Amino acid sequence: MRIGYIRVSTQEQNIARQEALMELLGVDEVYIDRMSGKNTDRPALKKMLDYVRKGDIVVVESISRFARNTRDLLELIEQLERKEVTFLSQKEAIDTSTPTGKFMLTVFGAVAQLEREYLLQRQREGIEIAKRQGKYAGRKPMKRDNFNVVVSQWKEGQMTAVQAMDRLKMSKSTFYRRIKEDHTSRL
């Protein structure tokens, strides 16, 4: 079977281009994650890795959709190889069923990681310059009128943390950061 894996970084990003490619390539099954690729802790990726069997082919639009650093990429490919599953990356024309494809995978993975690190470095440098010039103050904090009420209900056991995050429309990291900030400001 040809198994497709699609990833976009946010819920808002469109997956139509990657879906069209999967259809064009005759993919039988598609797994989709709408989250950062900063690590391999992604639900659809895990399901896909559990699902694939000997002889299957995992197809991605590009390496960057599969993994964001060389270590993660090589570990994921190793998991696929242990199951005797081939990896195909359309953009980079990589096919791990060949020795050249395996070599190119490592090279492209390293280049993709370097490119990402350069991008983050330029971003940090740009923000620092903008801050010094008084042109950047960071993102505006999220204000939730019901924050204290919901957190009190959570602390009293009236709801789970996940329910509190859903009600506040906050990510896990934002929720716990705000709780920590509130606790620190009260000291």
CATH number for 2-113 (one of 3.40.50.1390, 3.40.50.300, 3.90.226.10, 3.40.50.720): it is: 3.40.50.1390
pTM: 0.61
CA distance 84 to 181: 49
CA distance 56 to 51: 10
Note the pLDDT tens digit of each residue in 18-49: 999 999 999 999 999 998 888 889 999 999 99
Question: Which pLDDT belongs to residue 186?
Answer: 62
Residue ranges, comma separated, of all CATH 3.40.50.1390 domains in the chain are 2-113
Q: How confident is the model at residue 102 (pLDDT cuts 50, 70, 90)?
A: confident
**Residues classed as catalytic:** 9
149 three-class SS: helix
